Amino acid sequence: MFRGSMVALITPMRADGSVDEKAFQDLVEWQISEGTEGLIPVGTTGESPTLSHEEHKRVVELCVEAAKGRVPVIAGAGSNSTSEAIDFAKHAKKAGADATLVVTPYYNKPTQEGMYLHFTAVANAADLPMFIYNIPARSVIDMSVETMARLAKHKNIVGVKDATANLTRPLHTKRACGADFIQLSGEDHTALSFNAAGGTGCISVTANVAPRLCAEMHKAWREGRTEEAMAIQDRLVPLHDAMFCETSPGPVKYAASLLAKGSDHCRLPLAPLADASKAKVREAMVSVGLLN
């Protein structure tokens, strides 16, 4: 159920900064029609840090409504406050999401034991499959394989979104957590390498603007068409580079705007994309074949 090309959805916004609900649901529909196999609303790419709690919950509801059960929805439900994460997880369950994505608590830097207690509390509070989101570059902390193995014993904790870019990590995680523990890459550049080391898919930023290519790459890999998958991987490299030329989701929202998939507006403190970065994004999209 949770595999292949999955997308960390942007949250389209109007020029005044309000959430563009129609553009968001249109984006969801386009993603499904292009072959995306899973939808992740209100993660970091969806600007969860600057959405109000009401907006956060509304975006999850909009995603579930638009998906209509055709592909799984993994709702962002992370917070560095355990009570807030529990509230988001409970709402995701009520809204009809298929799973939650809960990030390691950022800024307050809990110990490994603190992380274990945090994720256990959220998993106990909402009877819904949960993915741990391990992204040391943003949260400052790194969940150890040992802690993840402890958490993998919980019936509701089913997998991880691994954004460490450490390709030895999935090997050790598989040994510690078992082959049934679902490992999804959170790093576009290494998606195929991650799959080769035990992963089953990628929660992608790039898939916001290149959903068909990302989906074809994962399908080719799954079906043993390795050379074809690697050829698509090579084709996507400049686009991956461009999507992170500035802090995400600035570049990907600009790229989406070039495809008429919402405006390029990001809420402060993310600044508008610099002209040089815009040129880099546009050039990458042309080179990949997304723009003329």
Verify whether residue 106 is a known catalytic residue: no
Catalytic residue, candidates 133, 261, 278, 280? 133
Alpha-helical (H) ranges within 5-109 are: 21-33, 53-67, 82-95
Helix 250-258 × helix 226-243 angle, to 10° = 110
DSSP secondary structure, 237-248, as one string? HHHHHHHTSSST
**Residue 209: HSE in the Cβ half-sphere, 13 Å Cα cutoff:** 33
Q: Is 239 exposed, middle or buried (0-12, 13-18, 19+ CB in 10 A)?
A: buried
Verify whether residue 161 is a known catalytic residue: yes
Known binding residue 203? Answer is yes
Which residues make beta-bridge pairs with 265?
A: none
**Cα–Cα distance measured from residue 51 to residue 62, given in angstroms and rounded to the nearest whole number:** 14
Check if the beta carbon of residue 250 is closer than 8 Å to that of residue 281: no
Give the closest residue to 7 by CA, choosing from 261, 228, 268, 267. Answer: 261
Structure-token pair, residue 70: 């055709």
**Cα–Cα distance measured from residue 89 to residue 58, given in angstroms and rounded to the nearest whole number:** 13
Catalytic residue, candidates 57, 93, 116, 161? 161
Known binding residue 45? Answer is yes
Residues that constitute the known binding site for pyruvate: 45, 203
Known binding residues: 45, 203
Q: Give the active site residues.
A: 133, 161
